[in-house]
Amino acid sequence: EREGAFGLGREALVEELAAWDVDVLPDGRGLPIGTGNALDGEELFADRCAACHGDFAEGVDNWPVLAGGFNTLADEDPVKTVGSYWPHLSTVYDYVYRSMPFGEAGTLSPDETYAIVAYILYSNDLIDDEFELSNKTLGSFEMPNKDGFVIDDRPEAEYAAWSAEPCMSNCKDEVTVTMRSVFLVNTPEDGGSESV
Amino acid sequence: MDEMHKPSRRAFLRGSAAVAAGTVAGAASAQSADPLITDVQDWASITGAGVDETPYGMPIEYESHVVRRNVEWLTASPISSINFTPIHALEGTITPQGCAFERHHSGAIEMKKDDYRLMINGLVDKPLVFTYADLERFPRENHVYFCECAANTGMEWAGAQLNGVQFTHGMIHNMEYTGVPLRALLNEAGLGAAGDLRDKWVYVEGADASSNGRSIPMEKALDDVLVAFKANGEALRMEHGYPVRLVVPGWEGNMWVKWIRRIEVSDTPTESREETSKYTDVLEDGIARKWTWVMDAKSVITSPSPQMPIEHGKGPLVISGLAWSGHGQITRVDVSKDGGITWETARLGKQGDTKALTRFYHDINWDGAPMLLQARAMDETGYVQPTKEQLRDVRGENSVYHNNCIQTWYVNAEGIAENVEVS
């Protein structure tokens, strides 16, 4: 036995690992064998997804928009979708297979998931309707915003500048109120609805 | 010093009495005898509740306002949503579990301890399955830490929006956790197979439908991360991950995976939905920061605040608030009454724990003039809590998460407080 180990727990079995270890890495490792295209995905999406996400993945009411929003990330109101924002296609497969549809998670087969992911790509004009998405093609698919992320740079961009001894008196000439929340109507009456 | 000019205790008492008589309602200004004193009250005559009446008690009904509240327009569904801790009404640092905020992505699930399983797999010598009973046999540790949602204060990026500290700062709780260091569980599975640990990761996920999978660098996993099964002395509440959750000190609440069911040692981050689509912070140029794990130093005055107006008139006033930092201990909190022109250093209720809520107080004699109240936290790294303008100059208005700006309350002559922004 290893130093400091207690001999607690028991070895996980192959079937148990297969049941729970379903996460997919950006390079496609972890994908199950399967295939699907947008034509198949359209029907599945209409049946399983469109009630919340819309027929064209455009979103219904406040539910998430999955398609569009290209070139809006620097706008006043960015539209962050699978197409405009997500860096890796692996995440789309992983998340849909594991956690969607909302309220019925874990009910899609690998082939159904490939087809739905293909339809989401198609809705974003990133593939044509005959493109076969599979465990062989998904890991190498390049998303439009793959280079849109930087690793946390607060230490360089912020911490150095905001670590000086702070001003204690005469810190500014005057102060004026520039915005008041009471002019907005967003705070619930009587301090908000009680959570159940 | 001239003895004549020293304020004597007697003069101080006289002065205080004069202030009190002019402003304080109730007994202090009573012109006739107070019947609450002169009449025998029921509670002083008949008997109260027996010890067998309440096996597990709730707060007295007069505290029914001290509850979690939600804001329906914030999310599409109450199942994947947030509510808010009533920090305006709390004191000290420990959050009562029953009103500590919730954030779920597919609801609060109900799981028995007997049904609980925790798997450790990936780059380990032997993949393992633990039961709940197994976890209780490892040596335990106790630590107090804050859990702050990455989105706390996130609605306030573009301006003053919600009028109450519960809503602007209440996605936070602070509990004393009992649990097992994650490093002990990893050691049980063996990290020899992982090789050089410096570039390795753990991916953690919950048992709920959302799974909430997140990648954590091995250095943090081996440092202070806890696999916790008790909070504030008792089992975790269902909504906080019963029976087992991850505690990730100082880091954004999303990584505190609830109902944790699997820990995978990996040679690469998974880049899951919760670390790509969500919990990434869009900057002004459209580029987004990822892996913004640490919650920076932050503070807020909890009273006075919009939900806690000054109702006692002029005179002694307790300014009470909370400060915290994901980088370590809070070393100092300054308070301004004039919107940041002048600052005075507040006192800490007691020296706070590292990466935990710290109470501060500033006791003043309020002259009834309007105030622009602010608090500014400093932590042991020397970092000073920034203004919202400083944050927006670097990040723009669309980063959603990690808003640790200095909050301003405008308190008018009647003692009513408002959420405002100032120049």
Q: Which of B143, B212, B224 is nearest to B182 (CA)?
A: B224
pLDDT at B72: 86
Name the minimum distance, in Å, from the CA of A96 to any CA of chain B. 10
Contact A193 B70 (CB under 8 A): yes
Contact B341 A182 (CB under 8 A): no
* B 108-127 near A (Cβ less than 8 A): 119-122, 125-127
Contact B422 A176 (CB under 8 A): yes
pLDDT at B177: 98
Chain A interface includes B404 (CB < 8 A): no
Contact A95 B273 (CB under 8 A): yes
Question: Any residues with CB less than 8 A from the CB of B118 and at least 6 apart, and which?
Answer: B129, B130, B135, B185, B227, B244, B260, B261, B262, B263
> Quick one: CA dihedral B150, B156, B161, B163, positive or negative?
positive
Burial class (CB in 10 A: 0-12, 13-18, 19+), A2: middle
* B 143-182 near A (Cβ less than 8 A): 155, 159-164, 166-167
Beta strands at B117-122 and B226-231: parallel, antiparallel or unpaired: unpaired
> Quick one: CA dihedral B227, B238, B173, B263, positive or negative?
positive
Token digits for B123? Answer: 């780059």
Chain A interface includes B280 (CB < 8 A): yes
* B 60-89 near A (Cβ less than 8 A): 65, 67-73, 75-77, 79-80, 83-84
Q: Residue B24: is its pLDDT beyond 70?
A: no
Chain B interface includes A85 (CB < 8 A): yes
**Does the predicted model carry a pTM greater than 0.90?**
yes
pLDDT in tens, B336-365: 999 999 999 999 999 999 999 999 999 999
Contact B288 A194 (CB under 8 A): no
Contact B421 A174 (CB under 8 A): no
Q: Which residues on chain B are in Cβ contact (under 8 Å) with A153? A: 289
Provide the pLDDT confidence category of residue A4 given band limits of 50, 70 and 90: confident
Provide the pLDDT confidence category of residue B2 given band limits of 50, 70 and 90: very low
**Distance in angstroms (rounded) separating the CA atoms of residues B145 and B295:** 12
> How many residue pairs from chains A and B have C-beta atoms closer than 8 A?
269
* B 291-320 near A (Cβ less than 8 A): 291-294, 296, 306-307
* A 115-174 near B (Cβ less than 8 A): 148-154, 157-159, 162-164, 166-172, 174
Q: Write the CA distances from B13 to B16, B18, B27, B29, integer angstroms.
A: 5, 9, 17, 16
The residue among B66, B74, B125, B129 with the most chain A CBs within 10 A of its CB, best to mutate, is: B129
Name the minimum distance, in Å, from the CA of B90 to any CA of chain A. 16
> Quick one: CA dihedral B294, B297, B303, B308, positive or negative?
negative
Name the minimum distance, in Å, from the CA of B274 to any CA of chain A. 9
- In this structure, what are the phi and psi dihedrals at residue B22, rounded to the nearest 5 degrees? -80, -25
Q: Which of A128, A138, A161, A156 is nearest to A28 (CA)?
A: A138
Name the minimum distance, in Å, from the CA of A169 to any CA of chain B. 4
Contact A25 B266 (CB under 8 A): yes
Name the minimum distance, in Å, from the CA of B350 to any CA of chain A. 22
pLDDT in tens, B202-254: 999 999 999 999 999 999 999 999 999 999 999 999 999 999 999 999 999 99
> Which among A17, A191, A192 has CB closest to B121?
A17
Q: Residue B6: is its pLDDT beyond 70?
A: no
Name the minimum distance, in Å, from the CA of B65 to any CA of chain A. 9
Contact A91 B277 (CB under 8 A): yes
* B 383-402 near A (Cβ less than 8 A): 383-384, 386, 390, 394, 397-398
**Distance in angstroms (rounded) separating the CA atoms of residues A151 and B71:** 32
Chain A interface includes B273 (CB < 8 A): yes
pLDDT at A130: 86
pLDDT in tens, B106-124: 999 999 999 999 999 999 9
Contact A158 B394 (CB under 8 A): yes
pLDDT at A190: 55
Query: Please, what is the Cα angle at B293 between A166 and B352, to 5 degrees?
Result: 55
Choose the weakest-confidence range: A85-89, A111-115, B4-8, B243-247.
B4-8
Provide the pLDDT confidence category of residue A196 given band limits of 50, 70 and 90: very low
Q: Residue A193: is its pLDDT beyond 80?
A: no
The residue among A17, A170, A179 with the most chain B CBs within 10 A of its CB, best to mutate, is: A179
* B 4-63 near A (Cβ less than 8 A): none
Percent of chain B with pLDDT over 70: 93
**Distance in angstroms (rounded) separating the CA atoms of residues B315 and B79:** 46
Q: Which residues on chain A are in Cβ contact (under 8 Å) with B284? A: 74
Q: Average of pLDDT values for A133-137?
A: 97
Higher model confidence: residue B139 or residue B19? Answer: B139
Q: Average of pLDDT values for B258-265?
A: 98
**Helix or strand or coil: residue B384?**
strand
Percent of chain A with pLDDT over 90: 87
Q: Which residues on chain A are in Cβ contact (under 8 Å) with B344? A: 168
Higher model confidence: residue B4 or residue B409? Answer: B409
> Which among B68, B126, B419 has CB closest to A11?
B126
**Helix or strand or coil: residue B121?**
strand
